[in-house]
């Protein structure tokens, strides 16, 4: 077996090939792209080669190219691959060698990440773009509020979309003439972004038709179309999570730990994993706290936690339990029942 490590960059890709004894049999640099990547591996039969590469912006493109060539690559999380991250001798050649050597020793397979299906990648891109639109829209709102606040004028969130209120703001004597063109421009930008947000919401509903299991989650409190698609695209395939706590860990919603001997320390959540999935889970928790469809045990538990630790901690804790419940529904294909007992 030949073990090949590929260090992918925007313009070039450095590769290193090792035999079973760990001896370097070939290494080099090729242009990044389909032609270059196939050139790096064409020397060996596809059934005699194993390839490892790091996560990055071009990773899934490389995976698609190698799969078409009949090779299933191993993709490793660069943050967990300590042979590269902690190395005092950092270079593209060394990184490619470390990937190949880690693959030969079995380390790369133990820290391999899941290669998402095409529909999961499409849904993730959709949700990420929608979040960027929301972020830009909120920046526009904050910019206008800051300008108005500087002249003593306040604008409430509910008043923002109303044309009649905007006319009153522009006619307000406290608003200087030089500021009015800036305000008009900012609201025009906001209007365009709001239209884009509505268009993307329609795309979310359309995309949900590709996920039959979405109906199971839509019955849960706090799980609307946006949250459901955000979490399903992060999960991709529920079968890769054998236990519910693995799903919570993947979303970064489990407590961090620092154990040594008899001493056990627990901290805040790890925040490691898919950040957007964690965001949607917490948003679902906030909505579920106000929902009458939340199970009675979970409602009582969350209220006790609010009194004891505060609303923010309770929302994060409830988000983890909702993910545990989502794992159960997706695994068993049960329909949500508001009379479920509390989920441990």
How high is the pLDDT of residue 341?
A: 62
**pLDDT at residue number 157:** 77
User: pLDDT (tens digit, 9 = 90+) per residue, 251-277?
Assistant: 999 887 766 666 666 677 878 888 999
From CA 77, how far away is CA 56, in angstroms rounded? 9
**Angstrom distance (rounded) from CA 159 to CA 143:** 16
Burial letters 58-85, b for 16+ CB under 10 A, else e:
bbeebbebbeebebebbbbebeebebbe
Give me the CATH code for the 2-110 domain, please. Answer: 3.30.420.10
Q: Who has greater pLDDT, 106 or 260? A: 106
- pLDDT computed for residue 143 by the predictor: 93
What would the pLDDT profile of 75-95 be if each residue is shown by its tens digit? 998 777 766 656 666 788 988
- The per-residue pLDDT of the chain, averaged, comes to 89
């Amino acid at each position: 077996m030949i073990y090949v490590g590929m260090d992918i960059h925007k313009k070039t890709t450095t590769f290193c090939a090792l035999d079973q004894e760990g001896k370097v049999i070939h290494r080099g640099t090729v242009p990044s792209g389909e032609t270059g990547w196939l050139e790096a591996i064409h020397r060996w039969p596809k059934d005699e080669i194993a390839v490892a590469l790091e996560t990055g912006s071009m990773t899934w493109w490389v995976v698609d190219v190698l799969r078409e060539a009949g090779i299933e690559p191993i993709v490793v999380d660069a943050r967990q691959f300590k042979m590269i991250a902690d190395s005092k001798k950092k270079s593209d050649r060394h990184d490619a060698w470390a990937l190949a050597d880690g693959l030969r020793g079995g380390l790369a397979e133990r820290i391999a990440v899941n290669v998402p299906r095409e529909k999961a990648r499409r849904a993730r891109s959709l949700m990420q773009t929608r979040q960027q639109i929301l972020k830009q829209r909120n920046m526009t709102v904050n910019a206008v509020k800051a300008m108005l606040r500087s002249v003593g004028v306040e604008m409430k969130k509910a008043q923002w979309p109303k044309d009649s209120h905007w006319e009153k703001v522009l006619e307000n004597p406290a608003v200087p003439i030089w500021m009015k063109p800036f305000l008009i421009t900012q609201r025009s930008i906001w209007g365009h972004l709001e239209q884009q947000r509505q268009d993307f919401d329609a795309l979310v509903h359309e995309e949900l038709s590709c996920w039959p299991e979405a109906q199971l989650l839509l019955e849960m409190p706090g799980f609307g179309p946006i949250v459901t698609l955000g979490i399903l695209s992060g999960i991709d395939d529920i079968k890769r999570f054998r236990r519910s706590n693995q799903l919570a860990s993947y979303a970064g919603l489990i407590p961090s730990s620092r154990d040594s001997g008899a001493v056990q320390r627990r901290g805040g959540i790890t925040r490691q994993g898919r950040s957007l999935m964690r965001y949607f889970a917490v948003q679902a928790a906030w909505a579920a706290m106000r929902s009458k469809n939340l199970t009675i045990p979970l409602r009582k538990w969350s209220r006790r936690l609010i009194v004891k630790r505060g609303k923010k901690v309770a929302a994060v804790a409830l988000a983890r339990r909702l993910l545990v419940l989502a794992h159960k529904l997706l695994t068993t294909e049960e329909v949500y029942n508001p009379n479920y007992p509390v989920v441990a």
